[in-house]
């Protein structure tokens, strides 16, 4: 069994990230993936919307280590772990940093119609697991042939997750001494 730590939407808040890394170490996580900025600890990361915003507001990023780091981040990662194909992107495939997959309503309840809509949109999507962020929702739902996982925002949902492969099970962990908020910063925009 391979355990993969998932962190998303850290929003430059180091405390929850350090806590998530400690949880991952305690739980024997072998890889850490994040759909937002995180350096060090051998973490693989994809470019997020706040990273792009930072880059857009830099006149001359020469010598700025953040600009150098953001410029080398991929928009997505497509990899195989423990015999399962995993795809990671900040919002939704193939490489979106905005929009995102919202499956929960304002009350935090997964909506069958949204799952069905995304199952149709992902019909030709081949990976076994899709890891996303951006929407500040926490879920691990089978959407068509793909397990779609959003670990939620470490900063705002107070959550991180561990994906275990090849069993494709997901366990969420609360951060910052808070209860996990399954949805945060709701907007009426569904996709």
Domain ranges for the chain? 2-174
Token pair in block for residue 85: 């194909």
In the block, tokens 């020469």 appear at 62
Q: 191 falls in which pLDDT band (50, 70, 90)?
A: very low
pLDDT reported for residue 97 = 87
pLDDT of 76 strictly over 90: yes
2-174 CATH, one of 3.20.20.70, 3.40.630.10, 3.60.21.10, 2.60.40.420: 3.60.21.10
* 41 or 20, greater pLDDT: 20
Q: What is the pLDDT of residue 166?
A: 98
List phi, psi (to 5°) of 172.
-100, 150
* pLDDT, position 186: 58
Instruction: Express each pLDDT in 17-34 by its tens digit.
Output: 899 999 999 999 998 887
SS3 of 88-133: the string is EECCECCCECCCCCCCECCCCCECHHHHHHHHHHCCCCCCCEEECC
Token digits for 72? 């080398």
Least confident range of 22-26, 55-59, 138-142: 55-59
| Residue 60: predicted pLDDT | 67
Q: What is the rounded average pLDDT of the residues 117-146?
A: 97
Residue 42 confidence (pLDDT): 66
pLDDT value of residue 36: 56
Beta bridge partners of 87: 78, 130
Residue 143 pLDDT level (bands cut at 50, 70, 90): very high
Check residue 189 and give its pLDDT: 45
Scanning the structure block, which residue is given the tokens 């090849």?
Answer: 166
pLDDT band for 61, please (50, 70, 90 cuts): low
Least confident of 10-14, 56-60, 106-110: 56-60
């Amino acid at each position: 069994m391979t355990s993969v730590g998932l962190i998303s939407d850290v929003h430059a808040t180091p405390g929850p990230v350090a806590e998530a890394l400690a949880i991952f170490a305690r739980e024997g996580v072998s890889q850490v993936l994040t759909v937002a900025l995180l350096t060090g600890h051998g973490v693989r990361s994809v470019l997020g919307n706040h990273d792009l915003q930072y880059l857009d507001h830099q006149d001359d990023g020469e010598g700025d280590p953040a600009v150098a780091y953001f410029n080398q981040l991929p928009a997505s990662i497509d990899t195989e772990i423990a015999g399962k194909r995993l795809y990671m992107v900040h919002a939704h495939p193939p490489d979106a940093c905005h929009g995102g997959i919202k499956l929960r309503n304002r009350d935090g309840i997964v909506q069958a119609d949204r799952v069905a809509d995304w199952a149709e949109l992902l019909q030709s999507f081949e990976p076994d697991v899709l890891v996303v962020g951006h929407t500040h929702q926490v879920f691990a739902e089978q959407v068509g042939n793909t397990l779609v996982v959003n670990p939620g925002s470490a900063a705002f949902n107070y959550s991180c997750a561990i994906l275990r492969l090849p069993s494709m099970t997901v366990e969420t962990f609360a951060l910052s001494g808070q209860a996990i908020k399954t949805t945060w910063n709701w907007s009426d925009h569904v996709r």
